[in-house]
C-alpha cells in the first residue's frame, strides 16, 4: 500500500461523504423527513451517530480504492471507472436497498430514487477512483 493508495482512499472517503450528502441530505431529504418517527431517525438522533456514518464512508472509500487497484484493465480510464462503478452498484447499492425495501416499510417511490441516485453515485465514484489510480505502463 503505497502513498497513492492512502491519498486515493482519503479522497474517495471525502467524495463518498459529499455525494452521499447530496443524494440523501438534499435530494431525498423531503422523502426522509416524511418518515421521521416511523422508519427514520430524527435529525438530532442521526447527528448523535455521525461517527458511524464517517466510518461507513471510510469503508467505502478505502474498499473501492483497494478493489479497483487489484484489477486495473486495459480500457480507458473513463470506461474502466464506469464499468467499476456499475459493478459496485450491483454489488452494494442495488441489493442493499432491495433488501431494505423488503424488511422495512419504505415507500416504493423512495426506494426507486435511492436505487437510481446511489447507483449514479457509485458510477461517479468509480470514475474518480479510476482517475486517481491510472494504469501504469
Domain ranges of the chain: 3-132
pLDDT of residue 119: 98
Low-confidence ranges of the chain (pLDDT < 70): 137
Residue 40 three-state SS? strand
Provide the whole-model pTM: 0.89
If one counts every other C-beta atom within 10 angstroms of the C-beta of residue 113, the result is 16
Torsion-angle region of 68 (φ positive above 0: left; ψ -120 to 50: alpha; else: beta): alpha
> Distance between CA atoms of 55 and 50, rounded to whole angstroms?
9
Angle at 92 (CA atoms; ends 20, 62), nearest 5 degrees: 65
DSSP conformational letter for 34: T
Amino acid at each position: 500500500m503505497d502513498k497513492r493508495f492512502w491519498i486515493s482512499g482519503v479522497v474517495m472517503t471525502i467524495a463518498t461523504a459529499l455525494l452521499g450528502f447530496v443524494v440523501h441530505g438534499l435530494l431525498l431529504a423531503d422523502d426522509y423527513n416524511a418518515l421521521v418517527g416511523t422508519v427514520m431517525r430524527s435529525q438530532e438522533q442521526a447527528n448523535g451517530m455521525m461517527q458511524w456514518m464517517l466510518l461507513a464512508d471510510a469503508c467505502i472509500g478505502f474498499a473501492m480504492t483497494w478493489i479497483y487497484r487489484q484489477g486495473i484493465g486495459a480500457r480507458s480510464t473513463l470506461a474502466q471507472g464506469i464499468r467499476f462503478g456499475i459493478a459496485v452498484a450491483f454489488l452494494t447499492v442495488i441489493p442493499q436497498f432491495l433488501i431494505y425495501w423488503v424488511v422495512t416499510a419504505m415507500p416504493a417511490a423512495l426506494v426507486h430514487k435511492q436505487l437510481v441516485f446511489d447507483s449514479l453515485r457509485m458510477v461517479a465514484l468509480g470514475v474518480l477512483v479510476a482517475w486517481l489510480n491510472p494504469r501504469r505502463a
